[in-house]
Structure 1
Amino acid sequence: MTTALVRALGDLAHGAVHAPGDCSCPRPSVLAERDDGIVVRSGPVVAKAHAADTDTAALAARLRLAAEAGREGILLAPLPMAHGGRLTELHGRPVTLWPHGEPVDPGDPDAAPWEEAGALLARLHRTGARRPLPAMRGPVKAALAVARMRTARPGDPATGPVLAAWAGLPGWARGEAPPPAGRGAYLCHGDLHLGQLVRHPAPHGAWLLIDVDDAGLGDPAWDLARPAAWYAAGLLPPDVWLRFLDAYRAGGGPAVPADGDPWPALDVPARALTVQTAALAWAKSAAEGRTPDEVEQVMIDACARIASLPPELAAAATS
């Protein structure tokens, strides 16, 4: 099934470039192959097969969001299909087409666009939704990560600190309730990390946010939570964190106060992303038959610190 789907995605992307026929185009290449997304490139076009259990109505709303006027320079817009829509189905999975963009170079961390990411998030959070949108999926994805860990390592006492840190979070951060009043109506990306930025048009265009699968209305602090968690755990240098945060504040981002301590707003989402990352680390290491690597262990240890403190001091473990 996967091989057939990859071939069909390649054909779809290739067909979006030009009419069928003999050509000298290189063969389509697989950019990503996971349960939640298979991405195949043909020249300037990328075809993505989304997860089989994707809510297609919610995805369609997110695609309209990325394509509507006013999102230029913030979100990469999807390409229309031959039938005029932006969503089709192949082998039982929803499929979309996108322009190809140049991703962040993982081999050059000094050139990572942290300021650009902060500025883009500020612009996104300051724009309102013109049409109904689903909730941002960040908390739901955190809950799914914990469920995946439980399945991969049932009853493993080593996962206890991660579960304890999870249990200490408020219900809204676990996807069980809406965000606090006044915090849940912002337009959010839902899964911000450097892999969600590309230059378009490549190679020297502006940076744009990609992958709207988790976008929607929610607490904007969630979009800052992953870099905040990395900074708190010691994985992101303080100067890099401040570059990102300062760019977000300079852009008028509403997730944190314009000055002063940002952690009262970031504490809960940062703890949730710490748990999510640690849970995925346990799940992936179990699936691969190995112990967690050094970076994964850092996030697992951060959960242990969070779980060891009373709730009123939990912020100290992530700041």
Structure 2
Amino acid sequence: MIYADVPLTEDIRAAVAAEWGYKGDGERLFGGEESAAYRLGDVVVRIGALNRDPATVEWCNGIAVAAARTVPEAVAPLHRANGETVAMVAGRPITVWPLVEGQWASIEDPIQMAEAARLLARLHRALADHRPPPRPEPSFLAIGLDGAPSAELPDPELDRWLAEFTGSARVHPLHGDYYEGNLLARGGHVIAALDWDEALVAPPEVELASAALEFADVSGADLTGARWFVDEYHAEGGTADRLDDIALVQLMRHRLRREAVYFGIAVARGVQHDEDDLAYHRQRMDTFRLLRP
């Protein structure tokens, strides 16, 4: 994976010192295709994507704050003196977060997988009654849920199914990008949910299927692992309704199709993918076809 070269500039350090009161040079943390995170003492400074709408970042941060009120693993941003959580520096949104020590959660560990499913259920319960204003810009996962056709991996039957499903589904805020890279573990247990940049309001079944795809590492038509993840979620009382196999695979395919769109955008932006990235992309596109009902 190629990560963006986004420096912690003097201007950003000055803004963090003035708005949040934290000073230092910073240590680059792992990850970030369009953004970057730096450790600054006991906080993390996140430098968002260039020209990202600050109102959208603020909206997403509000979802994290709402979840953190009752779910201790939900990491919420720190507020500035004016009550906001975002400062813009040279066209990039700057946010500051509590530092949580840990590593990415492991999909190879059944204990962590079960904890991830149960944490998702608790996050959904925490957000079920939260009613934010409309998101200023659509999220990655929301586009196409209404059945609008996609130029990437066109599938009219999937479009019709999504339109029918979402037309009657109940909605509430969701994390939006729930996978192992946005969870931290320590001592073999999941301890934190990070990165709320793709938060959205949508049917919880959409996120449950997407998470099952990720944590079960679905790469063909075998749904055994995904079903296990879904069962763990429901055992914890998640808000999503039970999904039959058709609903599960169609919502997974929606996620995979959105990934294809994102891949194309990244290529157009000049991102150079290595061989591992390209092989992973091909495998995901094969899974889209293999899961077709």
Query: What TM-score does the superposition give when structure 1 sets the normalisation length?
Result: 0.68
Q: Determine if contact 2:218/2:225 at 8 Å carries over to the other structure.
A: no
Summarize the Cα distance change of 1:131–1:187 in structure 2 as closer, same or farther, 3 Å threshold: closer
Partner of 2:205: 221
- For the 8 Å contact 2:177–2:198, the answer to whether it is kept is yes
Cα offsets for 1:215-256 (capped at 9, x unmatched): 132111221233443558437986653542222011111323
Question: What's the CA shift for 1:123?
Answer: 1.6
Q: Deviations over 1:44-67 (max 9, x none)?
A: 211112223433223223323322
**Alignment partner, residue 159 of structure 1:** none
Report the 3-state secondary structure (helix = DSSP H, G, I; strand = E; otherwise coil) of the residue aligned with 1:73: coil
What residue is the counterpart of 1:117 in the other structure? 116
Q: Residue 211 in 1 paired to residue 198 in 2?
A: no
> Which residue type is aligned with residue 188 of structure 1?
L
Cα distance change of structure 1 residues 42 and 203 upon mapping to structure 2, 3 Å threshold: farther
Mapped to 2, the partners of 1:120 and 1:289 lie a distance apart of 32
Partner of 1:250: 235
Q: Within the alignment, does 1:181 sit opposite 2:163 as a pair?
A: no
Which secondary structure does the structure 1 equivalent of 2:285 belong to?
helix
- Deviations along 1:13-40, whole A, 9 cap, x unmatched? 67899765xxxx78522433422x2212
Deviations 1:158-206 (A, max 9, x none): xxxx5234x5432795xx99932233x222111111111125xx77886
CA deviations on 1:48-99 (whole Å, 9 max, x unpaired) are 1222343322322332332247333252111123555321111111111111
Cα contact 1:9–1:47 (8 A) shared by 2: no
Partner of 1:158: none
Among the aligned pairs, what percent are the same residue? 23
Whether 1:169 aligns to 2:158 is yes
Q: Tell me the C-alpha RMSD between the 2 structures.
A: 4.1
Report if aligned partners of 2:174, 2:202 keep a CA contact under 8 Å in 1: yes
Unaligned runs of 5+ in 2: none
Separation in structure 2 between the aligned mates of residue 115 and residue 51 of structure 1, nearest angstrom: 32
1:97 equivalent in structure 2:
96
Assess if the C-alpha contact under 8 Å between 2:78 and 2:98 holds in 1.
yes
User: The residue matched to 2:30 in structure 1 has which SS?
Assistant: strand
Instruction: Kindly report which structure 2 residues correspond to 1:130-145, keeping only aligned pairs within 5 A, or say none.
Output: 130-134=130-134, 137-140=139-142
Equivalent in 265, 268, 289 of residue 250 of structure 2: 268
Is the contact between residue 64 and residue 74 of structure 2 (CA under 8 Å) also seen in structure 1? yes
| Partner amino acid, structure 2, of 1:137 | S
Amino acid at match of 1:85: E
Instruction: Measure the CA separation in 2 of the matches of 1:133 and 1:71.
Output: 20
| CA gap 1:290/1:55 in 2 versus in 1, 3 angstroms | closer
After superposition, the Cα gap between the structure-2 partners of 1:57 and 1:240, relative to the gap in structure 1 and judged at 3 Å, is same
TM-score (norm 2): 0.73
The aligned counterpart of 1:51 is 49
1:193 to 170, 179, 191: 179
Give the conservation status (yes or no) of the 8 Å contact 1:137–1:214. yes
